């Protein structure tokens, strides 16, 4: 498959991922029942799987042995981990809100890494 097409799928999935994350984090902080809907629970997993598969495919196509790709994978694991605190495991609305802000900051870091091809992200 064409590199640019996969890159566009990857970037679209990244955009959808953060939009859905912000919506779910808001519902989590406000303890909304909407968070329990089946579609709300499954759609983000579909999007994030597409995001990851497209990213791994791109990495394989350009050669994955680059520090910035490793930085993205590690940061993605933190994004997921902190994200589940924001949406699931955080005990109080305040702790879920703080986790949500950290997850968003990690996402912004990842986009900087992607654009600059450098683990220093926006500071590169």
Positions in the binding site for ligand HEM (CB under 6 A): 7, 10-11, 14, 51-52, 55-56, 58-59, 62, 69, 72-73, 76, 79, 107, 110-111, 114-115
Q: Is 80 helix (H, G, I), strand (E, B) or coil?
A: helix
Smallest gap, in angstroms, from Cβ of residue 58 to ligand HEM?
Answer: 3
Determine phi and psi for 2, rounding to 5 degrees. Answer: -70, 135
Smallest gap, in angstroms, from Cβ of residue 108 to ligand HEM?
Answer: 9
Spatial neighbors of 35 by CB under 8 A, at least 6 apart, are: 24, 27, 28, 41, 87
Smallest gap, in angstroms, from Cβ of residue 25 to ligand HEM?
Answer: 15
Task: For ligand HEM, give the closer residue by CB, 19 or 94.
Answer: 19
Task: For ligand HEM, give the closer residue by CB, 7 or 32.
Answer: 7
Contact 57, 49 (CB under 8 A): no
The 3 state secondary structure assigned to 19-42 is HHHHHHHHHHHCCCHHHHCHHHHH
Task: For ligand HEM, give the closer residue by CB, 34 or 101.
Answer: 101
Task: For ligand HEM, give the closer residue by CB, 29 or 110.
Answer: 110
Smallest gap, in angstroms, from Cβ of residue 92 to ligand HEM?
Answer: 26
CA 72 → CA 97, 99, 104, distances in Å?
23, 19, 14
């Amino acid at each position: 498959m064409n590199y640019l097409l996969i890159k566009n799928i990857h970037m679209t999935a990244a955009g959808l991922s953060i939009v859905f994350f912000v919506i779910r984090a808001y519902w989590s902080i406000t303890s909304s029942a909407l968070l329990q809907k089946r579609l709300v629970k499954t759609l983000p997993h579909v999007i994030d799987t597409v995001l990851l598969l497209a990213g791994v495919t791109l990495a394989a196509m350009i050669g994955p042995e680059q520090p910035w790709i490793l930085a993205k994978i590690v940061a993605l694991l933190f994004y997921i981990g902190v994200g589940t605190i924001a949406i699931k495991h955080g005990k109080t609305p305040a702790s879920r809100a703080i986790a949500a802000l950290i997850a968003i900051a990690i996402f912004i870091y990842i986009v900087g890494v992607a654009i600059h091809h450098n683990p220093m992200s926006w500071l590169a």
